[in-house]
A and B are shown apart, each in its own frame.
Chain A
């Protein structure tokens, strides 16, 4: 594999997101860079990049079973960790020089324990502590943890993380986030020029390639999208997807159609990873800590429920969403409860919501399609009734 500059940006995104390994990693490895995998959106890519490493957000792409990892987990652990660890035990992550975890989710935490217990490569395994609450004291504590992380990663790569270098890299990541925000602005169009599945692939690509390459892809994509023909019907139902980890392209493809499109997300892969800028005027570690803990994020931060609800409401209003889908993984303790909070909130506001629960790479496409289609018919009826056209 090699990076082909003549490739269409959509085909690059499709290729990179459909595989764990990609040509960008190969080039980085050939250039002597270390590739560090990480499991959670709370891990600051800026520090890894500033230490001269290539960050890669770990996913179970291509997994067809979790046979090998089943013995390490309880039946109530989520399918993301079972499939991802299965890939690890199968050698799919052997190209990694290090793997980072965060104390954000109990399931991922157990994956860290099992990774150590099985002594599975890479030998550099690190878990960073993330507070559940986001008061000043917690942010101060988190700054110390980020510095500890920088020291550990520097030990692996042999490159010190200077504040100047970190500030420079923060600027690059902010540029990437701004470009992504511009693409999200285009999704306000009726119909949007890009589907939810394509956005998922884009998010996966951005977390798999060097930040500067990600910026180039985003710039090219932005140009393409400005002139792109509609990809769905003009009156397609506009949905907000909010969820824990999701990555299965087939699952996403089953949820969308010409008549149903996701125009925004509030999940740990999209906005949960990319929303919010790091303040470039501030001390870089403090600025990173503030952004990570106070942006839109996952239910790990228990004192930010209202911020998350406000964030989703803002998206619903600005992107003119017709309804919300909470698509959590089976046994995801965070999102099962957050899904319920969303359900209650939507009920209060009389806003349509569908709670789905699925297993990663677990099939069941027929039932999922029935649910989403019935829901879209319900939403369409509501829209028609509101506009005085009557129901179906």
Chain B
């Protein structure tokens, strides 16, 4: 049996195919979103199927999640990305109880129970100050590629401050620091610290229960992860799969559970 999870977020679309006979990931794909959610889901699902060497007819059930979940191009179940990140991380590593998911548009802290089901969660408010989109914009301001931002930031010693109250204020601070000739690595470090400190506020509301993981695109930024570990005085557990895929994995897990229920 094959189940597919599709996660169309604000910046990237992800899809995963799980072989439910052995609980293994057969194929996955991550790509930037296209002009609309329907096109994004159609393309990411097609590319994942190609990697798996399968056709959509061989997929027994699809579940979609993320902001584009209502416009999935194939008939599918829907589940919020909060539940999907929760179950996805738990399915990947059963000891996980707290998930810090920082995506393109928002950041979330999710607490799961002994079954991987959401017991509490908190999302950021509307401001993008603690999100991937802000990191993308600020890396552009610094003249860095997004995937290099974390590595450059790790070289900084943490001597500068950048506001985290508002995305625009962050950008203004970055421009001011650049004009005053500060090192790029120091500014990048300050940006990572500001994002981490912003996310800390919502972590405190939900509370921390071990094991803790980071998911979502920003989890790939080692500097933000390191600052969060330092601020929260915790160590993140590493997941066996790409943490950016957790939403799609969770959707595939929900698809397989839904399939199981229908078969029974």
Instruction: Give the B-binding residues of A (Cβ under 8 A).
Output: 357, 364, 366-367, 370-371, 373-375, 377-378, 381, 385, 390-392
Contact = CB atoms under 8 A, between A and B. Distances in A.
Given A364-B126, A391-B115, A392-B83, A374 B254 contact: no
B123 A371 contact: yes
Contact of A367 (B87, B118, B123, B254): B123
Interface string B100-118: 0000011000000001011
A266 B149 CA distance: 48
Contacts of B51: none
Contacts of B106: 367, 370
Contact of A374 (B67, B83, B115, B125): B83
Interface string B106-146: 10000000010111110101100000000000000000000
Contacts of A390: 115
Contact of A377 (B79, B123, B125, B126): B79
B102 to A, nearest CB: 15
A381 B123 contact: no
Contact of B117 (A357, A371, A375, A381): A381
Contacts of A364: 126
B126 A374 contact: no
B24 interface: no
A375 B108 CA distance: 13
Given A377-B80, A378-B83, A390-B115, 20 more contacts: A364-B126, A366-B67, A367-B105, A370-B80, A370-B123, A371-B123, A374-B81, A374-B83, A375-B121, A377-B79, A377-B82, A378-B117, A378-B118, A378-B120, A381-B117, A385-B115, A391-B115, A392-B83, A392-B254, A392-B257
Given A366-B67, A370-B82, A392-B83, A378 B119 contact: yes
Contacts of A392: 79, 83, 87, 117, 254, 257
8 contacts: A367-B106, A370-B67, A370-B123, A374-B80, A374-B82, A375-B121, A378-B83, A391-B117
Taking chain A's interface residues, is the majority helix, strand, or loop, or is none over half, making it mixed?
helix
Interface of B: 67, 79-83, 87, 105-106, 115, 117-121, 123, 125-126, 254, 257
A151 B120 CA distance: 53
A359 to B, nearest CB: 8
Contact of B118 (A357, A366, A370, A381): A381
Given A370-B67, A370-B80, A370-B81, A378 B121 contact: yes
Contact of B125 (A357, A373, A385): A357
Contacts of B83: 374, 377-378, 392
A370 B126 CA distance: 13
A367 B126 contact: yes
Contacts of A375: 121
A378 B121 CA distance: 9
> In terms of DSSP, what is the predominant structure of the interface of chain B?
mixed
A182 B223 CA distance: 59
B247 to A, nearest CB: 11
A347 to B, nearest CB: 10
A374 B99 CA distance: 14
Contacts of B115: 381, 385, 390-391
Nearest to A372: B80
Given A357-B125, A366-B67, A392-B254, A373 B80 contact: yes
A391 B114 CA distance: 11
B215 to A, nearest CB: 15
A197 to B, nearest CB: 19
A41 to B, nearest CB: 28
A12 to B, nearest CB: 32
Nearest to A343: B205
A377 B250 CA distance: 14
Contacts of A370: 67, 80-82, 106, 123
A373 B117 CA distance: 14
B105 to A, nearest CB: 8
Which 10 residue pairs across A and B have the least CB separation, nearest first?
A374-B82, A374-B80, A391-B117, A373-B80, A381-B117, A378-B118, A377-B83, A391-B115, A364-B126, A366-B67
Contacts of B67: 366, 370
Nearest to B106: A367
Contacts of A385: 115, 117
A92 B105 CA distance: 36
Nearest to A362: B126
A385 B121 CA distance: 18
Nearest to A375: B121
A259 to B, nearest CB: 10
A344 B82 CA distance: 23
